[in-house]
Structure 1
């Protein structure tokens, strides 16, 4: 057991020695991506995926967000596709370093042409996301809150449920990586430290996370989708499990009743057993968890490496075609003509920006 524990901590200990300044990821995007890959791709892949799904779910408790989502009718008519499109766009944006590291580890050499394609895929996914969002009246503070959750929720879930705590280096890596994306989405006033972002998020929730019928509609549709693979007889219990993972404020905003007494303790007890098993009995991953394809297929499409639910794109997808059907064929950029940005230092905040 001591050997497994030693191997478990070897990766993060190596990074802490390599980067003794925990603020470096805030100034170096490559370091931020390397460290974030270790956190979400190697050490905590399962909880990382759950935390990001929950981050999106949490935004539905904001009426200004849920009203826009409800008006699109996608959750009522195309919930599986909407969920997969969102997941794949975000993965295309965030798995660049993971794909490059995976190919290098498994093939024993770098593929510079494919590395360049990875960068283009990331940029194209960002352009497509901006294209979609540009058609809706989304508030700046709602953009920032969503970005904040992509930083804060993985840390919160990992600290509560996983076999070790998140280090300051890793927190800054998440903030640095998502700040880069936020700047390219023209999100304003992104806090410069993890603690400042957490405080801003708490203040935002106190003011904006309140009950609305649109919250309930989106939450119910999403919960039904999450439970779609389980037998219908278990759906009531599944809804209790969802409730047990929510805060009181979230339950109020979604009009979700409290879970049965003792269920939350039971659920977290299971995670404690899982924590012990992973820390002392399960050898660490040798390659990062990746959802997006390492390369395009013969048709130029990217076939997801795994699907949590029923596959929406079993034959693959073009990144520019992800998203609502009404935007199909209307994205102004594709993998052939997407332009990679020039990175330069911002003299005001010393972070990488795109020009």
Structure 2
């Protein structure tokens, strides 16, 4: 079910833009509203998450990626509230579960759902998030109550959602844009669409989406063989220690500059783009991810925090040490 997990995680990010208290900061930083920055932000977010979701949060790569995420969040201090952090964490738990239960060939078991929550709860502890609900059921109740008061339309929500959709449509032929927007809207609940300023999809699009995923689920369950090996979509490490992405997004960030990758990028971007220095074709290190202006500024603090987090993990993490994990580092 990697497809449902990955797609659900992407849509979890979009749904966080429905929380009206958080989007003004995103608009102000211009990381989402500047065309030259939005695709890199998406690539960096995907790379950071994959390091500790597909990989392990206790791996060297995972520790550095999570430490960099913490460093970026600390830059904004109390402008990101604890409740907003809990809600974002909840979206990363609940939205992939909703996607898999609705669109995959089988629903998740209760064991799988609770295991996912325990893992994310430990990530939240290491991010210094306080008062995380104790159980998955408590998280669902907390999220429901939070959204009743905090999800409503405002212009900054619409701007964030619109900029994200524009980025996703970059490599889609223009004659298909309205159709893809309708499909995207069908993945969201009505109250979320309203908060994002998105129109409801025509019924025929919603029915077509249901039919497609039903057929896909039946085919996977009845016609496909089990995977021969686990699917690992993390970036590949080169001999110089840097990492190169495997998948090409709206822009080819961190894609190695090879003949094969140039052909794939040409095809994916309709001939617009190619890997190169402007897209960091030399790859990345986890501690370098995020806004370019922070790449060198954050390095020492991120590496120090990763070492502290490693010691914390070796002592048993939140279960043994208590939570939340927090450090005080100089920028």
- TM tier, smaller: 0.7 to 0.9
What does residue 159 of structure 1 align with? Answer: 101
Question: CA offsets, 1:189-227, max 9 Å, x none?
Answer: 111211111111111111100101000001001011112
CA separation of 1:354 and 1:160: change in aligned 2, threshold 3 A: same
> Contact 2:82/2:130 (CA < 8 Å) preserved in 1?
yes
Q: Find 1:297's aligned residue among 238, 241, 248.
A: 238
What does residue 28 of structure 2 align with? Answer: 71
- Alpha-carbon distance between aligned partners in 2 of 1:127 and 1:49, rounded to the nearest angstrom: 22
TM-superposed deviation, 1:260? 1.3
TM-superposed deviation, 1:290? 2.2
CA separation of 1:122 and 1:347: change in aligned 2, threshold 3 A: closer
Tell me the TM-score normalized by structure 1. Answer: 0.77
TM-superposed deviation, 1:336? 9.0
TM-superposed deviation, 1:169? 0.8
- Alpha-carbon distance between aligned partners in 1 of 2:234 and 2:211, rounded to the nearest angstrom: 33
- Alpha-carbon distance between aligned partners in 2 of 1:97 and 1:191, rounded to the nearest angstrom: 22
Q: Find 2:186's aligned residue among 231, 240, 244.
A: 244
- Alpha-carbon distance between aligned partners in 1 of 2:43 and 2:135, rounded to the nearest angstrom: 31
TM-superposed deviation, 1:179? 0.7
CA separation of 1:183 and 1:270: change in aligned 2, threshold 3 A: same
Greater RCO structure (CA 8 Å; 6+ sep)? 1
Unpaired stretches in structure 2, ≥5 consecutive residues: 256-281, 327-331
- Alpha-carbon distance between aligned partners in 2 of 1:182 and 1:79, rounded to the nearest angstrom: 25
Unpaired stretches in structure 1, ≥5 consecutive residues: 1-43, 99-117
> Contact 2:318/2:324 (CA < 8 Å) preserved in 1?
no
TM-superposed deviation, 1:352? 8.3
What does residue 295 of structure 2 align with? Answer: 328
Q: Which moved more, 1:254-263 or 1:130-139?
A: 254-263
CA separation of 1:309 and 1:147: change in aligned 2, threshold 3 A: same
Tell me the TM-score normalized by structure 2. Answer: 0.82
Alignment: residue pair count: 292
Is residue 41 of structure 2 the alignment partner of residue 82 of structure 1?
yes
What does residue 266 of structure 2 align with? Answer: none
Question: CA offsets, 1:158-178, max 9 Å, x none?
Answer: 110111111111011111111
What does residue 311 of structure 2 align with? Answer: 341
Q: Secondary structure of 1:76's match?
A: coil
